[in-house]
Amino acid sequence: MQKQLIAAAEYGQRFSQHDTYRHGAIIERATGSKTRYYGSNSLKTTPGSPKPEWKGKTICAEFDAVLRASRESVTDFTKYNLYVARYGKDGLLRNSKPCMWCDGLIRRLGFKGVYHS
């Protein structure tokens, strides 16, 4: 799990468009295929985003990863684990707990495991 959290944090560091909090997310099958779906947070919104616009136009990394997996025809998330992580300015893994809105989405989708830094 540490391996995936580091990979998620690195993805966020590279691809997040957020200046302060650069979150990355990975959705990976719990067993078998190691295909990964990546996501990063960004300063925009899109229909279906669980985070309401009054909280700021933000797409969370985990939702971005869910969108990407859905586009690649993943429909049953119960066989997948979700990893969300970010590096702080000090280069260490820092809190990346999903927000309450993503948390609701994550529960509805029924991920097998959810891990965050």
- Write out the residues near Zn ion by the rule CB under 5 A: 51, 60, 99, 102
Give the shortest CB-27-to-Zn ion separation in angstroms.
Answer: 14
Q: Which is nearer to Zn ion, 4 or 39 (CB)?
A: 39
Separation of alpha carbons 29 and 56, rounded Å: 31
Shortest Cβ 99–Zn ion spacing (Å): 3
Residue with tokens 């650069």: 22
Complex with Zn ion: residue 85 or 102, whichever CB lies closer: 102
Write down the least CB distance from residue 103 to Zn ion, Å.
8
Cα angle, residue 80 at apex, residues 91 and 10 outer, rounded to 5°: 15
